[in-house]
Structure 1
Amino acid sequence: MRGTTVLPGTAAAVPRQGEPPVHRLEVRLPDQVPFAAGGFDAMGPLSRAATPHRHTFYEIVHVVEGSGTHVLDLERYQVRPPQWGVILPGQVHHWEGVRGLEGSLVLFTPEFLVGGARDEELLRRLGERPWVDLDAATHERTGRLMAELAEEYRYGADGFAGVLRSLLHVLLVRAARLPGGVARPTPVRGVAEEFVRLAGRSAADGLSVRRCAGLLGVTPGHLAEAVRAATGRTPAALLREARTREAQRLLVSTDLTVRQVASRVGFGDPAYFCRFFRRETGRSPGDFRKHHDRRDPSLEGGGVPA
């Protein structure tokens, strides 16, 4: 997917003022598969980054040693191995006070998924419970599968991309089986699945339902019918949810003013944004920020590798 991968050593694009940097997935060659796997050390120092940042790719992490805190969007998760976690594209995350952090990572972009939109839906649902404690048996099985992925990626034998895709699919399906895991995914088809992806990636664009329908080449009525049949919700509700989630991330992870946050999520009128935010969350933007008092300073300028 264009803009989600870079060659090793490519500098990160400078984020908009006050926003966390965006890390893209490094690939060895321009035509290399958009995938990487290995231990924290093999993935480089950014795998333990202590500064808030986003990804253009998915990250699955299997923690086997260490202590500290993993901060993901609005939540803080204590590192108590063995644990399994998932980070979705666009989420803001970092590590705090970690010591002896060891384990393995799998990084990939959406187009690498063998199950396509179905696997993306599964990942989205896994992201609703992104940090999971593992029992001994599950920890052992997960470790073996993560090791297979890393070995296949490292050696790159004939047909390795297909093997990696298949193993990754197995990893996702098994993750969904964990105690308290995700519910069976609701079938999402055709225009509805395209809208769900569009809504999740365009929170800052302030897109209307009519505009989304135009981008997808359908009428607003057809879009509403398809989305409701597939998800049980309206397109407008999904767009509101995406914009609210992005606003929450910016309020907690940056020092942007409320006016700046409003602009970032597509509101030209800060007062209207405040009314919108209170209606969706029950709090004003200022109250929400005060309640989440562990904000990190904003990150400006470049110099952060992709």
Structure 2
Amino acid sequence: MPPAHALRDSGLCCVGAGEQSGQLPAVRRRGLSQHALVLITSGSGRYVDAYGAREVSAPAWIWLTAGQWHEYGPGRDGWTEHWVLFDGIGTRAYRSHLPRARGGVQHLSQDSPLEVDPIFDALHEATSTAGRRGQLMAACLVHRLIGVVVGATAPVAEDQTVMDAVSASATENLTVPERAARAGLTLAQLRTHVRRSTGLTPHELVLSVRLSRAQHLLARTDLSISRIATDVGFDDPSYFTRLFVRRVGVAPSTFRVQQQRRTAGASDLGTSAGDVEP
């Protein structure tokens, strides 16, 4: 499906999608002009790139970065794969979630079923629809697919332990080396765990947790902005406000008005709906 240039420039476009299963021929030292996501839903095999070889066991996904050579294929018993080709500057937003900076394999959690068939059914319909409407729907579905597989990716247990520890102490005024020491890690180890799990630095993670908690308090309580700043770990309310504007896009006071209005509106709608006789 030839993508519209405007859609590619605006973020992300779908170039094609499909699925196949069985004892498929292996892909040998190939590079693509677009990015691709290959989802393995059954079976096992092997993946190779410039970083080395990896065994692949379903459920798993492989991110193929444009321009980078790779090889992959199923074992003797075959496998089932779904694939999608896509392009655009929107792919940059997903790079922090990749198993390696240039691509690789991620195994998915066995605990939650991965419902991708409806997405691929919709992708087939969208890519068969001529014009920009079909292209727009396909692009939206690619975003949804990537979100589903990233959300279902099995976390590394040690990474999650570190993440929990950093998040729990985020409101404390500690330096990054002090956070590493508290977790029993070197500074380099802390950075590796946090980057692998979130794509952020430890400092960025702390700020993200603090601002998330501040948003909750602004929306759900009547605490003053200076009190909220202190509660989430900022000694200087002015700095908190500047950071909030830079990261969230509006001042804390504006955010509070917007969220409380939204909550009140939802309550009013709920009351009205309950008053209507069936």
TM-score of the two chains, using structure 1 as the length reference: 0.36
Q: Which has the higher helix share?
A: 2
Q: Which has the higher strand share?
A: 2
TM-score of the two chains, using structure 2 as the length reference: 0.39
Which structure is larger by alpha-carbon Rg, 1 or 2? 2
Higher relative contact order (CA closer than 8 Å, sequence separation 6+) = 1
